[in-house]
Every structure is written in C-alpha cells, then in structure tokens.
C-alpha cells in the first residue's frame, strides 16, 4: 500500500513570517495541530500547536510579535507520496517522529501522515512504531 492512499491531504504551508495568532487560527480552521512552513516554495520547517504553546506563549514572549520562524522546528522529515506505508513507518521510527510530511516527486507538499493513520492500516508495523516512539518520549 502506498502512503498517498492513507495520508491527510488538507495540509497547507505557512510563511515563516506568519504570526502565532494567525498560525493558531489556521490550525483551528483546518482542525489540525501541525503545519509545514515554506519559504520560496520550499519546506523550511514545521510548527505544531505544542510549539506555539511551549516556544511562544510559555516562554513569555510578546505573542503579537512572535512568528513561525522563531518557534518552528527546522528539521524537516518527509517522504514521497508513492513510498510504501511500511517504509514510511520505518522512517518515522528511525527519526522518532509522530507525523511525516508527504511530498510529490516535484518536492511539493501534498499531505501529512501520522502514526495514527498508519495504525489504521498496518496493525503489526504500527504497533511496533507506536511502541518505539512512545518509549523514546
């Protein structure tokens, strides 16, 4: 099974200059907790609802001036939409991540997959992935 068959496609990129207020609103509108950050049409990072809280609000910064660039995670982990689900699960385990960005062969963001998505289709692999990631946390 290919990862494109189970990925979530309502994924959007935001600019590194996006305010955390706008990030929060976009997450609310899309009903997600994770967004890609793109600059010049390329992925440069990711930002989660947790990043907003921990790196933005809890650090007692001025929430009206904090941008995605200041709170984003710079390590971007991704795979291709035509990669096999088991291969993506293995990569998630190796990188110790709960979500993986999905790109097309032109390296454009087309989706995101979570360990929950994988758990729905790959019982054995997802159990191992979930255990490995949970133990590391």
CATH, residue 95? 3.10.580.10
User: Which of 39-43, 52-56, 94-98, 120-124 is predicted with the least confidence, judged by mean pLDDT?
Assistant: 120-124
Question: Which pTM was predicted?
Answer: 0.78
Residue-level pLDDT at 129: 64
Segments forming the whole domain that contains residue 85 = 3-136
Query: Is the model's pLDDT at 64 over the cut of 80?
Result: yes
- Give dist(CA 11, CA 4) in Å, integer: 13
- What residues contact residue 7 under an 8 Å CB cut-off, 6+ apart? 81, 102, 110, 111, 112, 113, 117
Residue-level pLDDT at 107: 87
Instruction: Kindly list the distances between the CA atom of residue 52 and the CA atoms of 66, 75, 96, 106, 135, in Å, as whole numbers in the listed order.
Output: 9, 17, 20, 30, 24
Q: Confidence band (pLDDT; 50, 70, 90) for 63?
A: confident
Per-residue tokens: 75: 């390590």
Q: Tens digits of per-residue pLDDT, 81-118? A: 999 999 999 999 999 988 999 999 988 889 999 888 88
Helix or strand or coil: residue 27? Answer: helix
Q: Confidence band (pLDDT; 50, 70, 90) for 45?
A: very high
How many domains, in total, are found in the chain? 1
Query: Is the model's pLDDT at 25 over the cut of 90?
Result: yes
Name the β-bridge partners of 67: 19
What radius of gyration do the chain's Cα atoms show?
15
- Give dist(CA 40, CA 38) in Å, integer: 7
Q: Confidence band (pLDDT; 50, 70, 90) for 80?
A: very high
Extended beta strands in the chain, E state: 13-14, 34-39, 42-48, 78-80, 99-103, 109-114
């Amino acid at each position: 099974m290919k990862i494109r068959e189970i990925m979530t496609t309502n994924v959007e990129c935001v600019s590194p200059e996006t305010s955390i207020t706008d990030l929060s609103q976009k997450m609310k509108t899309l009903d997600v907790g994770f967004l890609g950050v793109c600059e010049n049409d390329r992925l440069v990072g990711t930002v989660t609802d947790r990043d907003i809280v921990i790196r933005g609000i809890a650090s007692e910064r001025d929430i009206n001036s904090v941008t995605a660039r200041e709170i984003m995670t710079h390590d971007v982990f991704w795979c291709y939409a035509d990669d096999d689900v088991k291969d993506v699960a293995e990569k998630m385990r190796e990188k110790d991540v709960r979500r993986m960005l999905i790109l097309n062969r032109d390296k454009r963001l087309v989706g995101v997959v979570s360990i929950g998505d994988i758990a729905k289709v790959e019982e054995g692999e997802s159990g191992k992935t979930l255990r490995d990631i949970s133990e590391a946390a």
